[in-house]
Amino acid sequence: MEQQQRYIFGDRDEKGLYPVTVDDIPAGTVHRRHGSWYATMPGHYLVKRYTDRHQAAAHLVTLIDQGIRPTGEAPTPRTPGDLIKSLRATSSYSHLVPPLRLSLANLVRAAEAMARLAELGWKPLEGYPGADQPWLMQCRLRGWQGRRFWSHLRGRNGDGIPRPITRHPGCKPVSEHAQALSDLAALRISTCPCPPFPRDKHPMDADTCLDILTSIQAALDDHAHMSALVHARSILEPCPAATRRATALRAAYERHAKAQQGLKADKRK
């Protein structure tokens, strides 16, 4: 109880961070990601997870009691997030946002989410952060920019109905949405028209996608994150045929997962 009385939560910002003051000292922030809570303090790298925001804030109290204070910008260790930033030669913001784990499952989910955003008339302005994190995007109907949760846009309980129905303040009337999205749909095609970069066009069939996923997994197994991200560009970069690519990626991922299960079964024999 003593620690709970010493910290105060501020209002949640657009990135999902709650500022925390301890004994009137700005101590850092806490945030929720994928069911767990984390504490952050500028100048210190904190990775421990907690079950609720009060436990995370209590950790900031402990740091303050140890004489530790925020010191400028938090140092960032060499992580996949750093490597992602080094690949910004592409004009897209299509890679994963740290600390979302770099994995085949997350890469495929990211490709599917961005393909569906195009169908819904949204443009991502940063990498896919996960379903339950605020995602910066732009409305292609009115140009509005802000953060939306992918879990809301993809619909609830499998109904596929994006929320909110009104999209955002100042958007077109709901009655005009269907026609506006139909007009945008004419820009989507089933064949990749993009120039080969760095080597081939974006993959559009399950066999090619399986080759890429296999290469990514091999790089991850060797802890070669830069190599994995280079391969990942072809499945995450914007493409007018992103819907077809996402479908092929899902089929390839399921084949890859099934093959991995078979290998594990053989090893147990």
Q: Where are any strands of DSSP class E within 87-243?
A: 122-124, 134-139, 145-149
For residue 164, say if its preceding peptide bond is cis, omega within 30 degrees of 0: yes
Q: Where are any strands of DSSP class E within 67-226?
A: 122-124, 134-139, 145-149
Same domain (yes/no): 163, 244:
yes
Range of the domain at 24: 2-65
Same domain (yes/no): 172, 60:
no
Domain contains 75: no
Same domain (yes/no): 95, 37:
no
Question: Which contiguous run of DSSP H or E holds residue 30?
Answer: strand 25-33
Same domain (yes/no): 50, 98:
no
Same domain (yes/no): 36, 84:
no
Same domain (yes/no): 141, 41:
no
- Tally of domains within the chain: 2
Q: 128, 137 in Cβ contact below 8 A?
A: no
Reading the chain (269 residues) residue by residue, the pLDDT tens digits are 344 478 999 998 887 889 999 988 899 999 887 778 888 888 776 667 888 999 999 989 988 888 888 875 443 333 444 444 444 434 445 577 766 788 999 999 999 999 999 999 999 998 898 888 899 999 999 999 999 999 999 988 878 899 999 999 999 999 999 999 999 998 899 999 988 755 678 999 999 999 999 999 998 898 888 788 888 888 998 899 999 999 999 999 999 999 988 877 777 76
> ∠ CA 157-160-161 to the nearest 5 degrees?
100
Same domain (yes/no): 53, 177:
no
Q: 174, 166 in Cβ contact below 8 A?
A: yes
Of 19, 36, 65, the position where a domain reaches its end is 65
Of 11, 36, 65, the position where a domain reaches its end is 65
| Distance, CA of 59 to CA of 53 (rounded, Å) | 10
| Distance, CA of 76 to CA of 97 (rounded, Å) | 14
| CA 139 centroid distance within chain | 18
Same domain (yes/no): 111, 208:
yes
